[in-house]
Structure 1
Amino acid sequence: MAMQHLTRWFPILATIHSYNRQLLTQDLLAASIVTVLLIPQSLAYALLAGLPPEVGLYASIVPLLVYGLLGSSRTLSVGPVAVISLMSAAALGKVTASGEVDYLTAAAILALLSGGILTVLGILKLGFLANFLSHPVISGFITASALLIALNQVTQLLGLSVHGDTILELLPGLFEHLGGYNQLTLLVGLGVVLFLYLSRACAAKLLQRLGITADTANLLSKSAPAVAVLITVYFSYTFNLEAWGVALVGSVPSGLPQFSLPKLSVSLFETLALPALMIAIIGYVESISVAKTLAAKRRQRIDSNQELVALGFANVWAGFSGGFPVSGGFSRSVVNADAGAQTQFASLFAAIGIGFTALFLTSPLYFLPKATLAATIIVAVLSLVDFSILRKTWQFSKADFLAVAVTIFVTLLFGVESGVLCGVGASLLLFIWRASKPHIAEVGLIEGTEHFRNIDRHPVKTASEILTFRVDGRLMFSNISTLEERIYTRLAGNSKVKNIILMCSAVNEIDWSALEVLESINSILLNRGVRLHLSEVKGPVMDRLERSSFLQVLSGQVFLTQYQAFSSVSIVNDSAEST
């Protein structure tokens, strides 16, 4: 029992008893490849967040270790990611503008708050809350954020110092300073962009022609960012690019992160609480989406609540170790899975590899051009841009299209914080609107069968004295008025109707407000000489109705099947007419 409890909190323990040399070899190989990919990404995303490059390495060591111990995904790789880095930059820029707190401290506190929120949600088993954030809206937010990130990095590609959180700030600044761009910086940046795109398109095929297996060739092609770093560091050092005005990363201190508890003031907490909440939500949704996608391919299970705890503790320890908010990264997680990672030990080994780099291999990073990292970010984030979501949602649902379009528009014009708030608001409004508009179909009998279908979609048999409505969804306070209005509208000016049957086969729940309205409908219909019947009521719903007085005052009957209800009521009406 004790071991099961430990395994619940430390899923990695479930793999220990079956761990062998083969699994170790596969995990070590995956960790080596992920480490090579993580180094340039970590440096780049730290700069994107406005932090020194070594902070990116720190944020890729301890959080990766913590997630490896606590995470339920065997392949998710945690560390700095583009969208979270951009959101962090937006939040930290506002907090540190007054000079009351330094940037590094604010970044650590932001990670602590974000991690604390995720941990509390996980302990309270509230992972389901992420389901209320619609995926089209998230896709729209990520698309707009990716465009802002790419535009921000274009200024680095040109060797310009232009800053801004929105397209309205970045574009004018870019055009204003365009004449001062550095030609050699642009050449380096464009060269890296071209190299990375060609590597994606052609490297795997070229390596296969050289006799390398397809799987190995694909993995090697994904290490192109690390190759770009090595090449540009070599040229920068050999030809002294700094003397030509090419901005370099500069001195990167060697060593492992130092643990400390940042000083948290009440005012700083109040300022960072909302950005931390938004970072927590977006980070979790992105992580759980990647984790579930990769797990589904291997028929593995992901515990949503445990993921909240694991990601929460990863962020908390990112704050303690001088890092900034982290999340599960799509590209490196895919590389981790493709490289053959079998267990969470791959994450532990990758963290050790990055720690080794931070200790012994930071000196050459002095000569790394910032344009290289900018090009790496641009290529990475442009793969996240998905304008097809606009076309798809337009064709499928105009409401979803409007939510996506507004989220993109707000994010681009007003920044990522406003975009997240808009996305959350749009998702909730969509949920409320749909909950208030259940599908209600008037149904009739398909002749020769006992099946009832929508009269607007199928040739069906109806009776002038009977109306049957099928409600597809819960009957609750938010939507019962829609059913009430539909009934009264259909009865208006129709004196032939003597019976109304509510077909409840798709009704999973009736709340108290809806029950009170049903009682009112029953009373009003009875005064008009119309009886109300129910059919195909589900067991749990029937249990609730029996605990109320509704069935005692119901003017009609409750039938087991809709066919039985239609037949019985028709016979009664025929008898009454003949009498």
Structure 2
Amino acid sequence: MRLTNTFSGYQRHWLMPDITAGLVVAALITPQAMAYALLAGMPPQAGLYAALLPVLVYALLGSSPVLAVGPVAVISLMTFEALHTLATPGSADYLHMASALALLTGLWLLLFYLINLGRWTTFISHSVISAFTSATAILIVISQLKYITAIPLPGSGSLWQTLTHLSRDYPEAQPAALLMAAAALTLLYGWQWLMPKATRRLPAWLSSLLNKAGPLAAVVMGIVAVQASGFTIATIGELPTGLPALVWPALTPEQWQALVPAAAVIALIGYLSSLSVAKALTPVSTSDTAPQPAADAPRLRTNQELLALGLANLGAAVSQAFPVAGGFGRSVVNRAAGARTQLASVVTVVLVALVCLYASRLFVDLPYAVLAVIIVSAVLPLISFSDARRAWRFQKGDGLVWLTTFIAVLAAGAVDGILLGMVLSLALYLRRSSEPHIAEIGRVGDSDHFRNVKRHQVTTCPQVLMIRIDENLYFANSQYLEDVICERLQSSQDIRHVVLVGSAINHIDFSGFETLQHLLNKLRARNIQLHLAEVKGPVMDQLGKTSLLDELSPGQIFFTASEALRTLGHC
């Protein structure tokens, strides 16, 4: 465990940019945190608690200088989906289970850290993540319609049930809630469009603060509108004053067991989404060549991120909060506001703590409709179908994974949907690797280069069959290699030598070894000799532990395919 990037080598001229960025993010996270708590089925103060100790822990341990950790929309929805069937949202049992879910999420992340899972950053395909994000964003938008319309929609119903109730009960929508939501939405999008133009001549720090203060302005507008107009509209009421008490979540063994699978998925999604944000915001140089990390940019340590996020979630567990992760929107704002280190997050924590201590009563008249609009405006940019189109055009299998994951998340929920996407993605990978590209190769002209006989004009020898497998040789594809070679032998009676070119083989498992041994005996029975060429060192080390190399004689092991063809075919 180590403290990284926050105080090590800190320079004095970074202080003001960090303070400014911390102030900007605090203005953004205060309304967002309460809104995301609402999304998770938690009281608004739980969102503020999630922006305190967890953020501070990550600030001390995280390796990204600008990643803003705290409550995020997707993880909040996954929290709700994991808990709403086990307890009533907002109840004491529900709050305890949310803290327990954060604890288990943190423990899963720490387990990933101990087994060095940080190196496996492509565990879930991009198609699965993209489809999951788009579908989850749609679910989030629909889940907020009950606050925007004030129609009592079922909080735990399926997507179809929610839409059915909405289409049937829309006459019951409250005009005051609709009007408040429309005003907040107009203010947010108008703010994004007008404020950058109005603040062009202001100092950079002030301009950045004002440009990102749209959610805070919507909160102020909602409170003032309720107080001035006397609207009968649902508001969050008075929040508890003070900082959260540190409490260890206590559940029954059955309740802990019920939360384990959901916590594992939340941990994986939270880590991958946080890591992708941190990588996207890593400073790059502006050279004429391909972008590279800037020379003075701290190095992002993937496994350190697991440790930091794991302990941040443990911090959420003991401070009456719910699972947290790195947020894309806040992280972008953090960097744009000039943050140089995680000291900006420490400043944010101090300011949110002051809100909890002294300003919680200010939000008594804050309408739920405004918080719902803040959530909707934050997640709408996540809905994108361009990835699906690109994946389908590039490879139908990836497009199918995207579509299946998207539909499954909408129909079955975030956890089950992403698990199905992962399984399908793995199944298609095994399907592709079980029938890898296997090419018969020949010499290109008089050179030492060898290419596929079906794609290039090459020279071959009738007595020598040269086969290249473009995949590792393991249990799923070893039989396929044998079948391809036997099929090729049936088309020619002149072949006396088979050369297996292993330039693309990095690993052979025991099934692959047994296939080579069986192939050797099968060819020998037909008076055909097996040879190897361009076998990599690690593979030779594996084969050296077996008797295959001895049994191969009089077959040979050639350094290059060219050497094999000259020796065996005399050409």
TM class by smaller structure: over 0.9
Q: What residue number does 2:281 align with?
A: 294
Q: What residue number does 2:109 align with?
A: 118
Q: Answer 1 or 2: which has greater helix percent.
A: 1
Counterparts of 1:267 and 1:99 in 2: how far apart (Å)?
20
Q: What residue number does 1:109 align with?
A: 100
- Partner amino acid, structure 1, of 2:152: S
Aligned-partner SS, 2:498: strand
Against the structure 1 CA distance between its residues 283 and 358, is the aligned structure 2 distance closer, same or farther, given a 3 Å change threshold?
A: same
Q: What residue number does 2:135 align with?
A: 144
Q: 1:178 aligns with which of 170, 187, 195?
A: 170
Give the CA deviation at 1:216.
Answer: 5.8
Q: What residue number does 2:535 align with?
A: 537
Give the CA deviation at 1:28.
Answer: 0.7
* TM alignment of 1:489-568, pairs within 5 A: 489-554=487-552, 555-568=554-567
Against the structure 1 CA distance between its residues 459 and 214, is the aligned structure 2 distance closer, same or farther, given a 3 Å change threshold?
A: farther
Q: What residue number does 1:237 align with?
A: 227
Q: What residue number does 1:39 align with?
A: 30
Counterparts of 1:172 and 1:513 in 2: how far apart (Å)?
54
* In the alignment, structure 1 residue 195 sits paired with structure 2 residue 187: yes
Against the structure 1 CA distance between its residues 502 and 198, is the aligned structure 2 distance closer, same or farther, given a 3 Å change threshold?
A: farther
Against the structure 1 CA distance between its residues 202 and 526, is the aligned structure 2 distance closer, same or farther, given a 3 Å change threshold?
A: farther
Counterparts of 1:457 and 1:562 in 2: how far apart (Å)?
18
Aligned-partner SS, 1:393: helix
Output one character per residue of 1:352-398: Cα deviation in whole Å (capped at 9) or x when no partner: 11111111111121111111111111111111112112111111111
Counterparts of 1:135 and 1:219 in 2: how far apart (Å)?
33
Output one character per residue of 1:228-252: Cα deviation in whole Å (capped at 9) or x when no partner: 11222222222222x3xx2212111
* In the alignment, structure 1 residue 255 sits paired with structure 2 residue 242: yes
* TM alignment of 1:338-417, pairs within 5 A: 338-417=336-415
**Count of aligned residue pairs for this structure pair:** 558
Q: What residue number does 1:205 align with?
A: 197
Q: What residue number does 1:73 align with?
A: 64
Give the CA deviation at 1:432.
Answer: 2.7
Give the CA deviation at 1:101.
Answer: 6.5
Q: What residue number does 1:447 align with?
A: 445
Give the CA deviation at 1:408.
Answer: 0.7
Counterparts of 2:199 and 2:356 in 1: how far apart (Å)?
31
Under a length normalisation based on structure 1, what TM-score does the superposition of the two structures give?
Answer: 0.92
Give the CA deviation at 1:448.
Answer: 3.3
Give the CA deviation at 1:350.
Answer: 0.9
Aligned-partner SS, 1:470: strand
Q: 2:3 aligns with which of 1, 5, 10?
A: 10
Aligned-partner SS, 1:177: helix
Give the CA deviation at 1:48.
Answer: 0.6
Counterparts of 1:202 and 1:214 in 2: how far apart (Å)?
16
Give the CA deviation at 1:183.
Answer: 1.5
- Partner amino acid, structure 2, of 1:285: L
Give the CA deviation at 1:169.
Answer: 2.0
Give the CA deviation at 1:222.
Answer: 2.3
Q: What residue number does 2:214 align with?
A: 224
Give the CA deviation at 1:534.
Answer: 1.2
Against the structure 1 CA distance between its residues 99 and 218, is the aligned structure 2 distance closer, same or farther, given a 3 Å change threshold?
A: closer
Q: For the Cα contact (< 8 Å) 1:165–1:415, is it kept in 2?
A: no
Q: What residue number does 2:288 align with?
A: none
- Partner amino acid, structure 1, of 2:527: G
Counterparts of 1:191 and 1:17 in 2: how far apart (Å)?
46
* TM alignment of 1:151-170, pairs within 5 A: 151-162=142-153, 163-170=155-162
Counterparts of 2:91 and 2:366 in 1: how far apart (Å)?
32
Q: For the Cα contact (< 8 Å) 1:117–1:277, is it kept in 2?
A: yes
Q: What stretches of structure 1 of length at least 5 have no aligned partner? A: 1-7, 575-579
Counterparts of 1:469 and 1:225 in 2: how far apart (Å)?
63
Counterparts of 1:108 and 1:79 in 2: how far apart (Å)?
14
Aligned-partner SS, 1:457: coil
Q: For the Cα contact (< 8 Å) 1:132–1:428, is it kept in 2?
A: no
Counterparts of 1:434 and 1:306 in 2: how far apart (Å)?
33
Deviates more, 1:90-99 or 1:460-469: 90-99
* In the alignment, structure 1 residue 96 sits paired with structure 2 residue 83: no
Against the structure 1 CA distance between its residues 478 and 203, is the aligned structure 2 distance closer, same or farther, given a 3 Å change threshold?
A: same
Q: For the Cα contact (< 8 Å) 1:74–1:344, is it kept in 2?
A: yes
Counterparts of 1:288 and 1:199 in 2: how far apart (Å)?
30
Against the structure 1 CA distance between its residues 200 and 569, is the aligned structure 2 distance closer, same or farther, given a 3 Å change threshold?
A: farther
Counterparts of 1:214 and 1:469 in 2: how far apart (Å)?
63
Deviates more, 1:218-227 or 1:139-148: 218-227
Aligned-partner SS, 1:131: coil
Aligned-partner SS, 1:132: coil
Counterparts of 1:197 and 1:444 in 2: how far apart (Å)?
63
Output one character per residue of 1:40-84: Cα deviation in whole Å (capped at 9) or x when no partner: 110000001111101100011010011111111111111111111
Deviates more, 1:427-436 or 1:86-95: 427-436
Aligned-partner SS, 1:313: helix
Counterparts of 1:18 and 1:281 in 2: how far apart (Å)?
32
Deviates more, 1:386-395 or 1:468-477: 468-477
Counterparts of 2:61 and 2:429 in 1: how far apart (Å)?
32
Q: For the Cα contact (< 8 Å) 2:42–2:90, is it kept in 1?
A: no
Output one character per residue of 1:226-277: Cα deviation in whole Å (capped at 9) or x when no partner: 1111222222222222x3xx22121112211111112121110111111111
Output one character per residue of 1:498-552: Cα deviation in whole Å (capped at 9) or x when no partner: 2211111111112222111101101111111222111111122222223321111
Counterparts of 2:283 and 2:184 in 1: how far apart (Å)?
34
Deviates more, 1:440-449 or 1:57-66: 440-449
Q: What residue number does 2:477 align with?
A: 479
Q: 2:464 aligns with which of 466, 480, 484?
A: 466
- Partner amino acid, structure 1, of 2:242: G
Alignment RMSD: 2.0
* In the alignment, structure 1 residue 306 sits paired with structure 2 residue 296: no
Q: For the Cα contact (< 8 Å) 1:166–1:411, is it kept in 2?
A: no
Against the structure 1 CA distance between its residues 200 and 429, is the aligned structure 2 distance closer, same or farther, given a 3 Å change threshold?
A: farther
Counterparts of 1:166 and 1:412 in 2: how far apart (Å)?
9
Q: What residue number does 1:133 align with?
A: 124
Under a length normalisation based on structure 2, what TM-score does the superposition of the two structures give?
Answer: 0.93
Give the CA deviation at 1:217.
Answer: 4.0
Q: For the Cα contact (< 8 Å) 1:252–1:366, is it kept in 2?
A: yes
Q: 1:418 aligns with which of 416, 426, 429?
A: 416
Counterparts of 1:315 and 1:165 in 2: how far apart (Å)?
28
Against the structure 1 CA distance between its residues 455 and 203, is the aligned structure 2 distance closer, same or farther, given a 3 Å change threshold?
A: farther
- Partner amino acid, structure 2, of 1:355: A
Against the structure 1 CA distance between its residues 215 and 259, is the aligned structure 2 distance closer, same or farther, given a 3 Å change threshold?
A: closer
Output one character per residue of 1:137-165: Cα deviation in whole Å (capped at 9) or x when no partner: 01111110100101111232112221245
- Partner amino acid, structure 1, of 2:46: V
- Partner amino acid, structure 2, of 1:10: L
Counterparts of 2:491 and 2:438 in 1: how far apart (Å)?
21
